[in-house]
């Protein structure tokens, strides 16, 4: 594989190109696999066919910081600093973009960011009503009122501690 001083170009679904350090790009397992498969090739453009430019930019920003923190805190403290950064970074992203972002990081197989985004989404829906979760994810209720009443009765315990949205 190429040295970490090298650059790679990530091309979004809209055709926008982002030049990225190899150390950052290799955190995206799909990109790493493509680069390994094309080792020896002078072409260092990886097309991300289903990832929009706004998500590519967010992912790059996250992993640039991740790599910087990793280098800066080799002796310890990395996890704490990363958690602080993730909280600050992800709380500024609205729920619609979070849903798109989780799909993008899942596609790119970027485990650290995937975990962070999923944790953020989980916090958004924690102790929320079924109606809130449906609205959050855009899920249509396909139960009849009778079916829903039966489910609520059978699983009454699941509604304990649920917040009024």
Express each pLDDT in 73-82 by its tens digit: 877 889 999 9
Kindly report, residue by residue over 96-145, the tens digit of the pLDDT.
999 999 999 999 999 999 999 999 999 999 999 999 999 999 999 999 99
Maximum Cα interatomic distance, the chain, rounded to a whole number of Å: 63
Beta pairing, strands 45-47 & 17-21 = unpaired
8 Å CB contact between 8 and 20: yes
The confidence band for 161, taking pLDDT boundaries of 50, 70 and 90, is confident
pLDDT given at position 5: 54
Q: Helices 53-72 and 78-91, interaxial angle, to 10°?
A: 160
Average pLDDT over residues 59-65: 98
8 Å CB contact between 100 and 12: no
pLDDT given at position 145: 93
pLDDT given at position 1: 44
Average pLDDT over residues 139-159: 92
Which stretches of 16-110 are DSSP H helices?
A: 22-25, 29-37, 53-72, 78-91, 95-108
CA-wise closest residue to 90 among 66, 64, 113, 60: 113
pTM assigned to the model: 0.85
Q: What is residue 7's three-state secondary structure?
A: strand
8 Å CB contact between 30 and 45: no
pLDDT given at position 28: 97
pLDDT given at position 2: 45
CA distance 76 to 124: 30
């Amino acid at each position: 594989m190429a040295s970490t001083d090298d650059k790679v170009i990530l091309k979004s679904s809209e055709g926008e190109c982002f030049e990225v350090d190899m150390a950052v790009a290799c955190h995206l397992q799909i990109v790493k696999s493509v680069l390994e498969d094309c080792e020896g090739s002078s072409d260092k453009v990886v097309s991300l066919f289903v990832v929009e430019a706004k998500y590519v930019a967010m992912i790059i920003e996250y992993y640039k910081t991740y790599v910087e923190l990793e280098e800066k805190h080799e002796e310890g403290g990395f996890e704490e600093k990363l958690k602080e950064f993730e909280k600050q970074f992800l709380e500024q992203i609205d729920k619609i973009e979070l849903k798109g972002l989780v799909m993008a990081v899942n596609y790119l197989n970027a485990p650290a960011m995937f975990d962070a985004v999923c944790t953020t989404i989980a916090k958004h829906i924690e102790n929320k009503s079924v109606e809130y979760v449906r609205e959050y994810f855009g899920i249509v209720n396909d139960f009849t009122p009778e079916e829903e009443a039966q489910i609520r009765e059978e699983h009454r315990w699941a509604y304990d501690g649920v917040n009024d949205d």
